[in-house]
């Protein structure tokens, strides 16, 4: 038992208590464990549903799964030894490599001993009288903790549409986010992929080149995919990255999107299409998210966006041989980047193959899944395998599925009936001592995630340290601060083109979810300044409470102490 443990509650021998319980052992949970345990000396438990570390990179192991951020900034920046020890092999890291990196980080920091794998949180309830959290898990255990920290990722609850007959399919089927650990063989199989978001766009070319008998893609909305231009990194690349790590991370941590580059030009407004192409072409050749950041007003100016969108449409038409098919693949219903902008490797060229075909479900909707395939309004397609690349109940889905109950039994589900309400995407009024790493209403999914994760973990760890050093028992956003942040979120989003698209950013991919823009689009740079200032002003907007007055029968107050001398 750690010197700083709060074990010893009067609830009985099976009760095990911690200073902090963290849910999730991906990028964020691992770093939060390290900060709280190794730097503050607190007793910490991580609860993880999977059998290993990795979070999203544990689950999303479908062929072609690759990060769209460049590898040298898709990692922790806080530990020089880790940076020295690790070399990325490609410009964009493939799933097995990210997973290997996170395994190395967990071993390097000796994190596994405080992670309980294969365990799911079923309920987390705030005990008003004790001022602590009770966390129940599917193995029948309950642990009590002072702080409850969610590190559950933003895209962790897979979504499969409620197609009639889905269970009746007699072939092999899965969602990309629940991909099996054993290799999947597509050879000589009739394969269907449903969905053409970032995931579908990655897996479709991989299946097409795995010798299937035929691959049929079911598309509802065409997407604007930009070439990734992935390539192996050589020794010279790595040397250059190492020599410039400080500058690279400084740039990434102070930029609007968490990448080490900013927009090259302010706007395309007033420019001729020829001038626009001259600016876009080099960035198209460079590939990746740098293309998206050619013009700074891409998501605020309809004129700029339409010009960039038109450029991409032209590229699609140039690549796809069959003009009718090309038109089906050309997006017209939304502005570029108002849905998550995918990167691709050979996506459009894949449709030039004879063994690949496209079903536009806006023309011929899926009516039901049958034992032998998919029936549309036109015909029945027979398949051996169906891959659902149909996305996630994003941002709030995983939090809501944990049955989180705050003060007076208020559930998060009730609280967020009309959409998420938070203060800074970090805390929730009515849910004291709970922190959400990259929660809704923070920049999260609009940025390079490890950068936003580091900012959040460090902010939360500093807040916990402040509380402990000052004998403060509870921290909770005020109702006013939360309301004002929620209104600010909506107002900033309304100044952009984002609300014009049906996207998972807007919650519109899940039936009956309230339509509201969920991440914070005010810019990661401004956001980070804001949360820093809030802390500097003594956690402005949070109510800090020194004692829990009605501890009742819970006995002694927790005895949290931060390790001295650090």
Residues that bind ligand NA7 (CB under 6 A): 155, 161, 194-200, 218, 220-221, 340, 361, 366, 389-392, 504, 509
Tell me phi and psi for residue 360, to 5 degrees: -90, 110
From the list 530, 429, 550, the residue with the least C-alpha distance to 489 is 530
State both tokens at 435: 């922190």
The H or E element spanning position 485 is helix 479-494
User: What is the nearest approach in angstroms of ligand NA7 to the Cβ of residue 55?
Assistant: 12
> Residue 474: beta bridge partners?
545
- The residue (of 161 and 514) whose beta carbon lies closer to ligand NA7 is 161
From the list 287, 285, 267, the residue with the least C-alpha distance to 276 is 267
532 in helix, strand or coil? helix
Select the residue whose beta carbon is closest to ligand NA7 and give its number. Answer: 197
User: What is the nearest approach in angstroms of ligand NA7 to the Cβ of residue 114?
Assistant: 28
User: What is the nearest approach in angstroms of ligand NA7 to the Cβ of residue 331?
Assistant: 9
76 in helix, strand or coil? coil
DSSP-assigned letter for residue 34: I
User: What is the nearest approach in angstroms of ligand NA7 to the Cβ of residue 145?
Assistant: 30
- The residue (of 290 and 339) whose beta carbon lies closer to ligand NA7 is 339
- The residue (of 485 and 505) whose beta carbon lies closer to ligand NA7 is 505
State both tokens at 367: 């009516």
Tell me how far apart the 2 most distant CA atoms of the chain are, in Å. Answer: 75
User: What is the nearest approach in angstroms of ligand NA7 to the Cβ of residue 178?
Assistant: 12
Q: Which residue has the tokens 């410039």?
A: 244
- The residue (of 156 and 461) whose beta carbon lies closer to ligand NA7 is 156
Asked whether the beta carbons of 560 and 42 are under 8 A apart, the reply is yes
- The residue (of 305 and 509) whose beta carbon lies closer to ligand NA7 is 509
- The residue (of 43 and 503) whose beta carbon lies closer to ligand NA7 is 503
Q: Which residue has the tokens 């034992």?
A: 371
From the list 512, 531, 556, the residue with the least C-alpha distance to 422 is 531
- The residue (of 197 and 419) whose beta carbon lies closer to ligand NA7 is 197
User: What is the nearest approach in angstroms of ligand NA7 to the Cβ of residue 312?
Assistant: 16
Burial class (CB in 10 A: 0-12, 13-18, 19+), 538: exposed
User: What is the nearest approach in angstroms of ligand NA7 to the Cβ of residue 200?
Assistant: 5
């Amino acid at each position: 038992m750690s010197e700083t443990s709060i074990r010893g509650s009067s609830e009985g021998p099976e009760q095990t208590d911690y200073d902090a319980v963290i849910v999730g052992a991906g990028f964020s949970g691992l770093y939060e464990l390290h900060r709280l345990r190794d730097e503050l000396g607190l007793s910490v438990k991580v609860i993880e549903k999977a059998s290993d570390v990795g979070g999203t990179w544990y689950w999303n192991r479908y062929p072609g799964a690759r990060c769209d951020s460049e590898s040298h900034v898709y990692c922790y920046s806080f530990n020089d030894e880790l940076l020295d020890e690790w070399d990325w092999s490609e410009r964009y890291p493939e799933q097995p490599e990210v997973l290997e990196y996170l395994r190395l980080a967990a071993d390097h920091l000796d994190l596994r001993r405080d992670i309980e794998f294969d365990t799911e949180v079923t309920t987390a309830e705030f005990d008003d009288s004790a001022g602590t959290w009770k966390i129940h898990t599917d193995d029948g255990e309950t642990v009590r903790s002072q702080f409850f920290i969610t590190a559950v990722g933003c895209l962790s609850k897979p979504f499969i549409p409620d197609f009639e007959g889905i269970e009746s399919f007699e072939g092999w089927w899965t969602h990309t986010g629940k991909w099996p650990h054993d290799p999947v063989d597509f050879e000589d199989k009739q394969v269907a992929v449903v969905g053409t978001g970032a995931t579908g766009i990655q897996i479709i070319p991989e299946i097409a080149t795995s010798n299937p008998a035929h691959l049929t893609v079911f598309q509802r909305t065409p997407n604007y995919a930009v070439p990734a231009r992935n390539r192996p990194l050589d020794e010279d690349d790595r040397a250059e990255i190492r020599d410039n790590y400080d500058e690279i991370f400084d740039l990434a941590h102070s930029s609007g999107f968490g990448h080490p580059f900013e927009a090259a030009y302010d706007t395309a407004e007033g420019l001729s299409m020829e001038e626009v192409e001259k600016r876009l072409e080099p960035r198209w050749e460079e590939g990746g998210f740098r293309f998206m950041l050619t013009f700074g007003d891409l998501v605020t100016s309809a004129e700029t966006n339409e010009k960039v969108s038109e450029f991409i449409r032209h590229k699609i038409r140039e690549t796809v041989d069959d003009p009718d098919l090309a038109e089906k693949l050309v997006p017209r219903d939304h502005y570029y980047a108002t849905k998550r902008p995918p990167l691709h490797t050979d996506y459009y060229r894949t449709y030039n193959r004879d063994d690949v075909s496209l079903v536009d479900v806006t023309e011929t909707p899926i009516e039901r899944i049958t034992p032998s395939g998919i029936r549309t309004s036109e015909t029945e397609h027979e398949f051996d395998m169906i891959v659902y690349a149909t996305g996630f109940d994003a941002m709030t889905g995983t939090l809501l599925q944990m049955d989180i109950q705050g003060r007076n039994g208020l559930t998060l589900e009730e609280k967020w009936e009309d959409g998420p309400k938070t203060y800074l995407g970090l805390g929730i009024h009515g849910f004291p001592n709970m922190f959400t790493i990259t929660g809704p209403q923070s920049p999260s999914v609009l940025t390079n995630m490890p950068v936003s994760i580091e900012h959040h973990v460090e902010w939360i760890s500093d807040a916990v340290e402040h509380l402990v050093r000052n004998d403060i028992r509870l921290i909770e956003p005020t109702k006013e601060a939360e309301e004002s942040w929620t209104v600010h979120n909506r107002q900033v989003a309304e100044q952009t083109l984002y609300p014009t698209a049906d996207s998972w950013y807007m919650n519109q991919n899940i039936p009956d979810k309230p339509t509201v823009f969920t991440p914070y689009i005010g810019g990661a740079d401004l956001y980070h300044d804001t949360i820093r200032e809030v802390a500097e002003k003594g956690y402005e907007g949070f109510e800090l409470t020194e004692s829990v007055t009605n501890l009742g029968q819970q006995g002694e107050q927790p005895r949290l102490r931060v390790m001295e001398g650090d």
